[in-house]
Amino acid sequence: MQSRTAASMRAIPLLLSLSVAAAFCAAPVSARAAQEPPSVAARVTPVVGGLDHPWSMAFLPEGGVLITERPGNLRLLRTPGGLSQPLTGVPKVAAQGQGGLLDVALSPDFATDRYVYLSYAESDGSKSGTVVGRGRLADDASGLQDFRVLFRQEPKLSSGLHFGSRLVFDGKGYLFISLGENNQRPTAQDLGKLQGKVVRLKADGTVPPDNPFVGRAGARPEIWSYGHRNPQGMALNPWSGELWENEHGPRGGDEINLVQPGKNYGWPLATYGINYSGLAIPEAKGETVPGTEQPLYWWPKSPAISGMAFYDADRFPAWQKSVFIGALLNQNLIRLTLDGNRVVAQEQLLVDRKSRIRDVRQGPDGYVYVLTDASPGELLRLAPAESGG
């Protein structure tokens, strides 16, 4: 089992004060110590404002972008055309605490089936849990038709905290869903519950027969991996095809994981964080625990990481081989430079805007797009400053 080490980088001023070098986040010893990244400050263009706590976005192949708002609205932004009224056919959500309308993803066959997938919090009147469903986007894009629930997190245990959740299709037709542990720590290790898990389903919501826990007594067959706390970002690595996930630690210990079938990612047995009270996590047995996986990368001081997107577009070579991650508490956008699975440099963008970054995506035009978690929130378009984009 690998141990984790920490290093640091000296802060340096960068163009427009939009980017600063940041403290290097501790990582497994197999990762090379980070070096100061090249000065690639961001040029920012506001795209649209007036959003109500936007949470996620998905770009449509015919143009435009779908944006979820946590209180329960799905909006369509067209350029030109502007921001739509809330689309019809969206399910009722439990907009309490961290819950509400969360992620949005398009079917891999969207061009023919027009399915839009949503994750959201659902309440039974007492407790809440994460739900995933899909509906067809109307030809005129005015709403979702025939919306149907495909998956429910069971049992419902949340009082408004730690829902997750991100949706990722893997290129083979399988849907991955990340699920928080509802602030009920021991459930992340309980294979009979769907809290603190990444699950894998077919596109229609049925369970693939080769999932790692299919046929195991006392285990939910949907589970792909377990031992997660509150996953806030998830994306498919375009170079390796591997699934990457990031999650909130408690006080310290935010981390990035390479998600593999049947693996245990440790929470709450293994953690680099402590309780918000300053005391140790009661169930914790150390930073490394036999039988649990080490993260690819972790932060000793939590930035409260959020959405995650790899950059593999040709438009901006300076950003290639990077992964972008939003930060809610630190109110910035993190760019990690990669060498394979190793993080070799870290940079903070959008520092001077002091905005909670909820989601980040690579657009079809090669720009980077981010959502700010506020009311009013914004959709911003980013390019390297020297590109003139």
Catalytic residue IDs? 162
Angstrom CA distances, 231 to 109, 201, 244, stand at: 26, 17, 11
Name residue 258's amino acid: L
Question: CA-based angle 106:71:104, to the nearest 5?
Answer: 10
- 147 in Cβ contact with 132 (< 8 Å): no
Cross-sheet strand order for the sheet of 342-349 = 19-21, 342-349, 332-339, 322-327, 305-311
Structure tokens at 50: 């007036």
Cβ-count burial 205-244 (b if 16+ within 10 Å, e if not): bebbeebbbeeeeebbbbbbbbbbbbbbbbbbbeeeeebb
325 pairs with which residues across the strands?
A: 308, 334
Q: d(Cα 52, Cα 49) in Å, to the nearest integer? A: 9
